[in-house]
Structure 1
Amino acid sequence: MCGIQSRYIRRGQPDAGFALFESESLKWPGFVEFDDVNGKVLTYSAQDSIYKVFDLKNYTMLYSISDKNVQEIKISPGIMLLIFTKVGGHVPLKILSIEDGTVLKSFSHLLHRNKKVDFIEQFNEKLLVKQENENLQILDVRNSELTEVSKNEFMTPSAFIFLYENQLFLTFRNRTVAVWNFRGELVTSFEDHLLWHPDCNTNNIYITSDQDLIISYCKADSDDPLSEGNGSINISNILTGKCLAKIRASNGFPVEKQCSCCDVECGCRSKVQSSSSRIRSTVAEALEDITALFYDEERNEIYTGNRYGLVHVWSN
C-alpha cells in the first residue's frame, strides 16, 4: 500500500508516495481503515486473525488485538467496540480505549435466538442493534436505557455514516440517504440526492468537516440530454435535505485529467503517453464510472477517480 500527498497527484507523480504497512498481510477479507477522527489506522490480517492499531501521524504500531472470536470492530471517538461471536441468545461486547486498547467495559446484549443480526453499531455511548424483521434497538450503555424504533419505520440500511458534531447519523438504502437522531426520529430526507451505486459505495461520498454538507456521485437528471452512461456530483445540505449545487454533463466545460495507466490504451478515448501526461476531457467523460470522490476543503477542489485509473480535479 502507498501513501501519497495531493500535490503529487496534481503534478502527475503517483510514484512520489511512500510504502505503508509492508509487514502486514491485508489481502481480502483483511482490510485497512483510516480513522481521521481519532488519528488512528486499523488493520486486519485475516491470515492470522490479528487486528493492529497504528498512529496516523507516523504509522507507528500502538497495539494489537488477537482473538479469533472477534467478529467485527467499530470505531467511535476515543473508543472501539469489539463484537464477539454470538453465544446462544446474546452477543458478548467490549468497549476499549482507542489510545492503548485498555478494556473500559465488558457486557452482553440479549438477542432473539433464531434471528439473524443485521448490524451492531456503536456511537459514543449509544449501541444500535438490528435483527432480521425486528425493531431497531438503541441502547445507552451507561444506564441501559433502551429505545425501540418500529421495523416499518427503520429498515436495515446498507451503510452508516455517524455525524459526531451533530449527534446524528446517516443511513444509506436503495440509493437514498436519510438523517436520524438517537431518539430514533427521522430528521432529514433528501430532495435530490439519488446515489449512483445501489449498494452505497461510500468511497463516492464526502461529508464536510462541519458536517453540514454531503457531496456524492449521484444519478444524473433524466432530462439531461448528456446524462446517459454517467452521473452527476451533487452537493446537498445535510440538515435541510436541499440540493445546493451539482456538476453534471450539460455544464459542458473541460476539466483537467491525469492518468496513471502509463503507456496503454486505457479506454478513456485517448492514448495516454505517461503517468505525468495531461489531456483535456469533457465533463460527460469525467463523470463516467467514478469510483472515488474527495473534497479538499482548504483548496475548495473536488477530486474524483474512475475505473480507468484517471484522476480529475474540479476547481471553482
Structure 2
Amino acid sequence: MAATADTATDTSTTPDPHPISRAEGWRRRLPLMPAFLFVVICTQIPFLLTIWYSLRSRNLLRPEGEQFVGLRNYLDLAIDSTFRTAALNSILLTLGCVLVSLVLGLGLALLLDREFVGRGVIRTLLITPFLIMPVAGAMLWSISMFDPTYGLVNWLIGTVGISPVDWTSQYPMLSIIVALVWQWTPFMMLLLLAGLQSQTGDVLEAASMDGAGPWTTFVHITLPHLRFYLELAVLLGAIYVVNTFDQIYLMTAGGPGTASANLPFYIYQRAFLGFDIGQSAAMGVVTVIATIVIATFALRLIFTSINAKEQS
C-alpha cells in the first residue's frame, strides 16, 4: 500500500512531459496582438485621457484658465440638479424600454413558436424595425407618427373624438420610450424565440401527458428554461439603451428644457454646446463606471444561471 501511495504521489507531481516554452506561448499569442492593440488604442487610451481631463478645469472658451482641480469636477456633479435629472431619465428610459420590450418580445416569440401559414413572412416583418437605422426610426416617429398636425397617432385618436396632442412636447419621455420599444422589441423577440426553439419537445409532451395545462407548463417549464435568455436580453438591452442619443436629439432635443435629457445627451450638451471639457469628462467617467458595475452584476447573475443549469 505504501508503494502504491508513493507511486500515486510521484505521478501527481510529475511535470508535464510537453511543457510549452515561453517562445511558443508568444508565437500562439502573436496573431491576437493586432486586435489587442486596436482595442487598447480605441478604448483604453481615450478613457485614460478622459480621466485626466476630468481632473482639470478645462473650458474651450477660456483656455487660459485651465488648471488641475483634482476631484472638484466630481464634487460639482453631486450638487448638479440637471445631472441628477439626466441620471434619473436614463434609468427610467432604460427600465421602461427594456421591460416593455421584453414582455412584448416574449409574447411575439410565443406566437411565432408554432406553425401557421406565412410564419416566415411575419417573422421578417417583425424583425424590420430593428434593422432600421436609429436616426431614420426617430424621424419616422417624430414626423409621421407624433406630429401634432399630420401625425398618424393624432389622426387615430381624432376618430374617437380626442383632441390632438403634441406628444413630443407634452409627453417627451413617453414618446421616446415608445420609439425605443418599437426598435428593441424585435431584438428581444429573436433572443427569446431562439430560447423557445432550443426547448425539447419531449419535456412539453411529458407535461401534457401528466395533465399540465398551458399556463402551468409555461410557468413551471418554459420560463425556467428561458431564464438565461431573459437575463441575456435584459443585459444587452440595458447596455445599448442606456447609451441612447439619436431618439432624444431628433425627437425632443432633451426638452422641454432638460425634461427628457439622459446622461449621454447631457454630456453632449456640456461638451459641444457648453465647451466644458472638464465637467463633461467627469460625467463620462461616472457613466462608464456605473455601466461597468451594473454589467458586472448582471454577468454574474448570468454565469450563476449557466452553472446551475449545467449542474442540474
Q: Same fold (TM over 0.5)?
A: no
TM range (shorter): under 0.3
- With normalisation by structure 2, the TM-score equals 0.18
TM-score normalised by length of structure 1: 0.18
The structure number with the bigger radius of gyration is 2
